[in-house]
Structure 1
Amino acid sequence: MWVKLALTLFWRELRRGELTIIFAAIALAVLTVFSLSSVTERIRLNIEQKSADFIAADRRLASNHPLEQAFLDEAHELGLKTAQQMFFDSMLFANDELVLGSIKAVSQGYPLRGKVTLKDDFLAADYEVVGVPKEGEVWLSEGLFYSLGLSVGDQVEIGMGIFRASKILVSEPDAPFFSLAGNKRVLLNYVDIETTQAVQPGSRVFYRMLFAGEEQALGNYYGWLKPQLRENQNWQGIKDRQSPLGENLARSESFLLLAGLFGIMLAAVAMAVSAKRYCERQYDPVAMMKTLGGSRQTIRNIFLLHLSLVTLFSLLIGLVIGFVLQSFATDYLANFMNAQLPQAGIKPWALSISIGVVCALMFSLKPLLDLFDIPPLRVLRRNLGDKLAISRVHMGLSVLTIFSLMWLFSGELKTTLMLFGGTATLMLVLFGLSRLFFSAGRKLGLSPGSSWSLAIATLQKRANANAVQLISFALAIKLMLFLFVLKNDLISDWQMQVPEDAPNAFLININESEVNNIKAYFAENNIVHEDLFPIFSGRANGLNGETFARRTSKQEGEEQDEDAARGVGRDLNLTWMTQLPSSNEVIEGEWFSPDSTELEVSVSKGLAERVEISVGDTLTFLVNEQTFDAKVTSIRSVDWGSLKPNFVMIFNPLVAGKFPVTYFTAAQFGEDDAKLVSELLKTHPTMSMIDIKSQLEQAQSMIAQVSLAISFVLAIVLTSGALVLISQVQASLAERMQEIVILRTLGAKGRLIKLATLYEFLLLGALAGFVAALVSDVTLLIIQRELFDVEGKLHPYIWALGPISGAAFVAAIGYFMVSNTMRQNTQGLLRKLA
């Protein structure tokens, strides 16, 4: 019998709109989470897919000595695709020209991810292939064709072998961002290595194995492989810092993670507010039911069924709208990026349904329990039960639920704590300020009949409710400001902005005998360039006598040994200087003294902080097989964005002559200097040039996708924030109707009421926006440093943007929501209230 009664009441309340708020809140939670998680998941998968292309595989194993065949055999047993690579330098000879080239021999199957870009002739169009040169053929970079005077199809000698230069090599997916390979690259079939006879005992050779397959299989393989790895063998994935794009990918995932968390927070706030408001509206009907003989069990069953039906319908509507929304969004993003976005899978469905159910249960549980405790005497004394309206238990339960949902969604406690802590601070500050502001309004002494006086009086009358509204408004504004700054400021800081006077080419692999000739050539042709610096490769191997810990794989989620000293993790380009570089500044210690008799080193600030190096420490270095110590005499800040030659570590001149070196510089060539560049490379065939601009464009293509994703998420959060505000204002419409009726009865004019309402929302929005801006900026400062690993800074412009945008945003939505109510006559309002 109660089921029939419950359904009757349910359909009646649906028609009356009693369940609209809670229905909209759950639907909002579901569609927000579904659309955000779907879009961010699909973009994340696309970024990972694109990022994997940059290493031509899902994982790779690098070594300075030959790798064992057993490694390949085990990979095949686990169903992984594999390929092999070998890197070595060798002379290329053709047309009486001799050039040192960087050879990359690749086996069948290369590349496992991404494609190789080729040209059939100098003027032909580029095209992509998956494959390797045929036996007896090589693919050469365009610079080698020019240096050797070759045409496509000519023969070239490599070591003891003669090969046909069949294609022009434009790019490879795993081409190094910065290496001594430069533009003298050769792609060779792996089986032709023996033909060249260039790899002899003692040759400088590097080996790689490439792997691709399911994550589970890759993880199992690494578990088998790890105990067998030697110190100079490294397992790498795109997330590892040793990968050129590892840091960019980590930041991309952090951006998308933050975006998803913002959606969770907004949905949770809307649900918590709506559930509380709905249950408060049912106090009188429940008291009436109890007066007419309804039992507690019957009432509980009725409202639990109502909640279940609302949750079910809200889930369906939210999923449908979310699916349509994310379909339009991802189609647009796919067309914009000229890419096919991977499907997100079941994760967004499971996540959004779970969050919808959890929100409906956890945010409604305490208000429903309070609803069942409403005394029957409320029909006579309307204030009975009002003390249940504010419940510390409900607030605590809501806060715990929001934190749990954020942690569940992010999987990262640190990120969750930072965002949650910033939000909690915002709520506490706002609640205190709102109480102070509303109480101070009584002492302003504004004149009767003033719209401002009426607005402030209204704020005072609903002090507790307005404090809650203020927190909701501020939270929505905070999240929008947060994403606005991320989109327009942090991403710009992340991207490397090239100064107008910056060099646009690196010249590397310069022999010492060529230094004076190259300087003369630059001077003769008025080419702006930096000094020529000697460089050699070496590794910081220990600090103060303690050897650094072996590096771990971030790709596999390994943790660093906390008891071992943290090391650099890679070989560095080292140099010596007498003068401090122009883009450097000593911030601790002193620059080298010309009278020093011991080996000294200057360390960049970033490395010093990461490895915990201080002035006066002793660093141990490993160069080839030789170790030596150097005393740290200074810490430098380095402007890496200048694109001028910069170094992590710089020695004093006492290191000169201890190791073989090549020289390195940077120059600025004009668009019409192609002939000068060609003559320079032809005159110095062992030298290589790297086009910085093209390399940066390749590395930043992924950043453009993230920027576009943040733009979409900002639109979603803006819409979600508007819906939160609508739910807050809609919940107070009945009370506002009563106020309008009373004011009209007392003779207040319509213009006075309209202006007072507008001023009320302007004040709420301005105060919410100001506090939201301050708290957002402090939270952003922390996130910049802790999450994105960039130098934190404040953003004063949002201190003004917050109050202005908050006032405009809240006033526009709030006034729009109540404008229809104010247009109705008094008789119509009384009828609705009845």
Structure 2
Amino acid sequence: MSLWNRYLAPGFRALRRDWRSGELVLLAISLLIAAAAISSVGFLSDRVSKALDRSSAQMLGGDLALSSDEPVDESILNRAAELGLESSSYRVLSSMASTDTGMGLVSLKAVDPSYPLRGELLLRQEGSRQGTRAVGGPGPGKVWIDPQLTGLLGIDVGDLISLGESSFAVDAVISYEPDRGVQFINVAPRVMMRLDDLPATGLLGPASRVRDVVKFAGPEAQLQAFESWLEPRLEPGQRLSHPGEARPEIQRSLNRAYQFLTLVALLTVVISAVAVALASRRFSRRHRDSVAVMRCIGAGKRQLAVMFVTELVVLAILAASVGVVLAYGIQAGVTGLVSSLLDVGLPQPSWTPALHGYVASLLILVGFVLPPLSSLYRVPPMRVLRQSRDEWEPRKWVAYGAGMVSFYLLAWGISADARMSAWVTGGFAGGLLVFYGVAYVVIRGLGAVASTLHHASLFRFALRGMVRRPGLATTQVCALGVGLTVMLLLTLTRIDLLDGWRGTLPDDAPNTFLINIQPEQREAVTDTLVDAGLRIQEPAPMIRGRLVQINDQPVDAARYEDERAQRMVEREFNLSHMPALPSSNTLVSGRWLDPSANEVSLETGLAKTLQIGLGDSLTFDVAGQLVRVVVTSLREVKWDSFDVNFFALISPAALSGAPATYITSFYMPPQLAHLNRQLLGEFPNLTVVDVGAILGHVRRIIEQAIVAVQILFLFTLAAGIQVLAAAFAATRDERIHEVAVLRVLGAAARRLRLTQFIELVSLGALSGVLAAFVSIVLAQVLADRVFEFSLGWPWWPWFAGIGGGVLISWLGGRLALRGVLQTPAQRLLREAA
């Protein structure tokens, strides 16, 4: 007999037979919703993530940047043009600028007319903090300047400024430059000119230190093809940059946005898996008798196993196909709404979420359908003659353990975040254990309560009914509890977690940095700002130093493969000392600095990049003096707080006598924008860095992600409703059988209805209490361990959990048992048999 006839054909026949009889409808719907929910979340989150990436590209000035110590070869630009990419080039160098009133060092940036490809260059406009958008770059013979130069050189719009061998007219003052990083080393005021005008200045001599940069923009597929072509051709001194890389404050917000979107997808996986598990449990119980009959007529265990696996795999593939198509239609239908809410066009999604839908359907099948069926093909033939209760089998728990592994792999594949996947998987498994253990103990304890209710026969009857069948009641509580937990956690995500994230960036977050404050100016500058009504951070010293040794071994950039590590060891660091750990820093390991010792506290990212750990010794060259310090702590820095922060904080004793300038940050309200000009007039050496545009961009990222999560919440809510429906459908047969027996024994319909009401309300209340507790604990863990901000202890989940549990349990029970009490007892017994 062929493989098809012996093993596969029976599976297809079983699929057709069970579908016609309605046995597979609930399981198919559950698998379909699992694939549809995961794929729809994936499609929309993929599009929103791409939109956020595009939004962050505005901070880079393009979708991809190539910087080089030498002019970029023309073949690179030609290849980009062949792929349909836009490109924009500029050159950056330091130069002396002079006017009739003085001279100073400036950072000269020569741009082509297409600069910037992404984002907006804003020019100052009187009465407006944001400024007006610049188009086409400076005109021939004209320059745009930083506001700092108006005070430093005493010039303004219409004046002349000399650069090299040429003079230029100041045409405008720059309000915001999208791709200028907030670097506090060698900060020089910007002068922007036309790229064609640069040769006339005579500044491009053989010894000139010019940095050439080309920005590229275009569709994602073409960008990936171009990057794949370019990377192997990169020469020494050339580097590719992507959106968010140069802005830790932007990257942190982007990461959080992706984490929130991913969390919704993972919770969809949880709730879909529960729905499938409940449906498969009912399928398994209803097939035991038919399997026993097949065993009696000679069907082997292997043949039965292959038959069921074939049947369910084909079902999963078909359900996933319908689910993926449905998911694509759903996300396409809400694209217009999302685009209008996010105020940004959404790129087309990739087909990766469709693959996730198929993989999710199959992995959920393996993890949550096959375990209940693992004992089905071992049903003894004697079951035809003797009905026996299910016995506990160790292999079942092994199978469910494999199911949790499948769940983790699925979560990891969707999120690409091992830590978040572990927390969600662990929370899921732990929640199930808590639900099962507590529910079983409570239901067993209800027997003692029932014995005391001598005058409340209905309550005694309902409680004893639950005690007589603890397995059924416990299953009901677990199913309801998990469904309510996910729904409460989603609501917590939508409300409290998102509000907590929004609270990390308050309305009065610092939007202005003031640097190059000289020690003798510190008090005067502080008084000026305070007198203006501003609340400023205590100015922190900023001392330049170069890392020259690690553990007494000379630092060599060549020993690092990572480009960021190479750049960091080649540049000068900003060192500082503070009396206490800054509020936007968290001590991850070690202890805080001893002010009288030679110690250093490093930011965790820097320590990881340079492969430095606790106890290592570092030697810095500070103004020609070697300063040796020991690493005593590692800090996690919240760069998106926009407070004054440093990669390296050193004990005051180690930096005693080192030349320092000071830096502070503060919130500058729009009505005091003129204060910047006043400061530069009084203290021309100061550098004012306005990060208001960056701050606004971070806020837009937060708001966009919040809108996206709220929309995705609706998709997962639909899956949650399915889980609750499956919870009652999974116990329908047992309840029908119980009602039938009680009807035969003479129980009145009214008494059964009231008893059922009391039981459902009790189970719903217990499920709600457990769900509220677990959802709050999980939200706390996610806020602390994943999203890294504090979350209070909300009270509303307790009321929502209990009230929702009671309402859903009662409505679900009524719907699941609709018409049962009016059905003749003989028919009920036949249906439940």
TM-score after normalising by structure 2: 0.80
Question: Is residue 654 of structure 2 the alignment partner of residue 649 of structure 1?
Answer: no
User: 1:222 is matched with which residue?
Assistant: 231
Name the SS for the 1:827 alignment partner: coil
Displacement of 1:675 in angstroms is: 4.3
1:480, 1:680 → 2: CA distance? 53
Question: Is residue 808 of structure 2 the alignment partner of residue 813 of structure 1?
Answer: yes
Name the SS for the 1:701 alignment partner: helix
- Contact 1:91–1:101, Cα closer than 8 Å, also in 2: yes
1:832, 1:672 → 2: CA distance? 77
User: 1:596 is matched with which residue?
Assistant: none
Which residue identity is paired with 1:344? P
1:572, 1:762 → 2: CA distance? 65
- Contact 2:11–2:307, Cα closer than 8 Å, also in 1: yes
Which residue identity is paired with 2:811? F
Report the count of equivalent residues. 810
1:215, 1:756 → 2: CA distance? 64
- Contact 2:39–2:324, Cα closer than 8 Å, also in 1: yes
Question: What are the within-5 Å matches in structure 2 for residues 182-581 of structure 1?
Answer: 184-197=189-202, 208=213, 210=215, 214-219=223-228, 221-225=230-234, 228=236, 236-238=241-243, 240=245, 243-287=248-292, 307=312, 310-311=315-316, 314-360=319-365, 363-365=368-370, 370-372=375-377, 374=379, 378-383=383-388, 391-392=396-397, 394-444=399-449, 445-447=451-453, 449-495=456-502, 497=504, 505-510=512-517, 518=525, 521=528, 529=536, 532-540=539-547, 542-546=549-553, 571-575=572-576
Larger mean CA deviation between 383-392 and 408-417 belongs to: 383-392
Name the SS for the 2:60 alignment partner: coil
User: 2:827 is matched with which residue?
Assistant: 831
Q: Deviations over 1:656-711 (max 9, x none)?
A: 6655x544334565554344443333344443323454431222322222222222
1:607, 1:412 → 2: CA distance? 18
- Contact 1:744–1:826, Cα closer than 8 Å, also in 2: no
Displacement of 1:336 in angstroms is: 0.4
Q: Deviations over 1:279-316 (max 9, x none)?
A: 32133345567779999999889867864674465335
Question: What are the within-5 Å matches in structure 2 for residues 563-642 of structure 1?
Answer: 571-575=572-576, 588=591, 592=595, 600=598, 603=601, 618-622=617-621, 627-630=626-629
Displacement of 1:361 in angstroms is: 6.1
What is the aligned counterpart of 2:40 among 10, 17, 35?
Answer: 35
- RMSD of the alignment, in Å? 5.1
Name the SS for the 1:341 alignment partner: coil
Give the direction of change, closer, same or farther, for the CA distance of 1:256–1:220 in structure 2 (3 Å limit).
farther
1:552, 1:277 → 2: CA distance? 61
Name the SS for the 1:327 alignment partner: helix
Name the SS for the 1:826 alignment partner: coil
1:765, 1:244 → 2: CA distance? 45
Name the SS for the 2:344 alignment partner: coil
Q: Deviations over 1:420-470 (max 9, x none)?
A: 233222333333333323333333324265444344333333323443444
Q: Deviations over 1:704-730 (max 9, x none)?
A: 222222223333333322211211211
Displacement of 1:391 in angstroms is: 3.6
2:738, 2:342 → 1: CA distance? 53
2:571, 2:473 → 1: CA distance? 57
- Share of identical aligned residues, percent? 25
Any gaps of 5 or more consecutive residues in structure 1? 594-598
1:246, 1:125 → 2: CA distance? 23
Larger mean CA deviation between 107-116 and 286-295 belongs to: 286-295
Displacement of 1:113 in angstroms is: 4.0
1:559, 1:785 → 2: CA distance? 31
- Contact 1:592–1:633, Cα closer than 8 Å, also in 2: no
User: 2:699 is matched with which residue?
Assistant: 700
Which residue identity is paired with 2:619? T
Q: Deviations over 1:86-116 (max 9, x none)?
A: 4445565668586765432335654354444
2:754, 2:109 → 1: CA distance? 75
Displacement of 1:125 in angstroms is: 10
2:127, 2:153 → 1: CA distance? 14
Give the direction of change, closer, same or farther, for the CA distance of 1:743–1:101 in structure 2 (3 Å limit).
farther
Question: What are the within-5 Å matches in structure 2 for residues 768-807 of structure 1?
Answer: 768-772=767-771, 787-788=786-787, 790=788, 796-797=793-794, 803-807=798-802
1:295, 1:518 → 2: CA distance? 89
Larger mean CA deviation between 43-52 and 257-266 belongs to: 257-266
Larger mean CA deviation between 327-336 and 278-287 belongs to: 278-287
Any gaps of 5 or more consecutive residues in structure 2? none
Give the direction of change, closer, same or farther, for the CA distance of 1:189–1:812 in structure 2 (3 Å limit).
same
Give the direction of change, closer, same or farther, for the CA distance of 1:463–1:70 in structure 2 (3 Å limit).
same
What is the aligned counterpart of 2:69 among 67, 70, 75?
Answer: 67
Q: Deviations over 1:586-634 (max 9, x none)?
A: 99466545xxxxx845537868987898998643124588754346789
User: 1:106 is matched with which residue?
Assistant: 111
- Contact 1:257–1:410, Cα closer than 8 Å, also in 2: yes
Larger mean CA deviation between 457-466 and 40-49 belongs to: 457-466
Displacement of 1:340 in angstroms is: 0.9
Displacement of 1:238 in angstroms is: 3.6
Which residue identity is paired with 2:730? A
Displacement of 1:36 in angstroms is: 1.0
TM-score after normalising by structure 1: 0.80
Q: Deviations over 1:760-783 (max 9, x none)?
A: 444444544555555556655665
Which residue identity is paired with 1:688? T
Q: Deviations over 1:725-781 (max 9, x none)?
A: 211211211221232344455565656544544444444445445555555566556
2:466, 2:343 → 1: CA distance? 52
2:270, 2:537 → 1: CA distance? 51
Which residue identity is paired with 1:813? I
2:275, 2:336 → 1: CA distance? 29
Give the direction of change, closer, same or farther, for the CA distance of 1:747–1:142 in structure 2 (3 Å limit).
farther
Name the SS for the 1:344 alignment partner: coil
